[in-house]
Each structure stands twice: as structure tokens, then as C-alpha cells.
Amino acid sequence: MTTQNPPTRLMLVTPPVADADAMAFKLMQAQAGGDLAAVLLRLTDGDERSRIERVKRLAGPVQGANVALVVEDSALVAARGGADGVHLTGGPEAIAEARSSLKGERIIGAGALRARHDAMDVGEAGVDYVMFGDPRPDGSLPPLAAVIERAGWWAEIFETPCVAYAPDPESVAALVETGAEFIALGAWAFEEGRDIRALVAEANEAIAARIARKAAR
């Protein structure tokens, strides 16, 4: 997920997944909408074996499309399921533990960063990306203006890539303008009645429009 001065790309953040086959179909639809960099896979509760099997079921079709698969909160499930990395919300201690177990072989990302010093702490711990704007444990979201400010601040100063979490389709264009390396379309993109293919296409159009404006300057 990391390149020299990369253009902004998209990440999908799934709702908690119990049915891997149903999610595989949704992701196939999303991939038809255009470029995707990564899928952050969230899993419902279950025994370790069943969670690993869900990751294995999704790793093939996701990675086969040259998209990285990152699993939320379990380095063990991510590694044994064949995912490309793990997304952690437990702070520097969880990151240190994951780095020890994964031995630099997989992506480690960090979310649940509520203050600037939280982001700097995990950055110093050696993560591959930081995420701003993701839902809090109670499901609430930080104000969009705060996410725009935080993503713009980070993208301007730090080399570690950042992901700006979009709370809805209307916010994507504003988040693209922050210069964040990745824009995350959240669980809302997978809701019944949403055209996820169209959402991905429209987000990529917003990215392309920003690139065109920069090139014209």
C-alpha cells in the first residue's frame, strides 16, 4: 500500500462479516466500479477456526484483483487466513505485539486515533498507515470537519500514509482534497439498496478530478 508520493486510492471497510460468500459477491461488485487499493475486513465473533476460514474464503478473490486484504484486530487470524495485514485499534502495545508475531511480513495499520498524539504514538511504533475518522466503539463518528483537518495535517507533515474515513458518499470529494493517500468507504457502502459499484466509480471520479485540477495548475 505504500509508494513514493502515491495518488489517492480507495479502501473499503466492511461491516462485520458472518457470511464470506455473500461478502465475496459484494466485493466483486465493488471491484467492477474501478480501482481499489485495499479491503479492511471486519469479522463477526466466532471461534478462531471459523474466522480464519472466512478470511481464507475472501483472500483469493480480493488478492486476485491486486487488492490488499487487511483483517481487523487479530494478527493471528490475518496471518493464518493468508491476509496481507492487520488493522489494530489497541494502540502502541498492540502494534508492538503484532510486529513481533508478524516479523515485518504483513501490513500493520492503526485506527481509533482520537487525538494527534495518538496518531504520532502509533506512527512512531512503526505502522504502515494510520486511519482518521473511523467509527467509535459506540458507532458514532467524529465531525467531518475534524477528520478533514486531521487528515490534511498528517498528509502534509508525515511520510506514513493516512486513510481518511468517509462517513457518507457526499464527504468523499472533501476528503480527497486533504491529500490523504487513501479514502475509506465504510460499512454504509455495503447497505442493502446501495449500488456499491456506482459508489466506487463515483469516488474514483472524485480522485481523478483532483488529479486533473492539480495537473492544470
- Residue ranges in the chain whose pLDDT is less than 70: 1-6
Position 3 scores a pLDDT of 37
Its pTM stands at 0.94
Q: 167 with 133: CB under 8 angstroms?
A: yes
The alpha carbon dihedral of 185, 27, 107, 177 has a sign of negative
The Cα 75–Cα 102 span in angstroms is: 7
Position 2 scores a pLDDT of 41
Residue 63 CB burial class (10 angstroms; 0-12, 13-18, ≥19): middle
Position 6 scores a pLDDT of 63
| Cβ-Cβ contacts under 8 Å for 9 (sequence gap 6 or more) | 35, 36, 37, 38, 181, 182, 183, 207
**Please, what are the domains in the chain?**
9-216 (3.20.20.70)
Per DSSP, 82 falls in state T
Q: 16 with 43: CB under 8 angstroms?
A: yes
Position 175 scores a pLDDT of 97
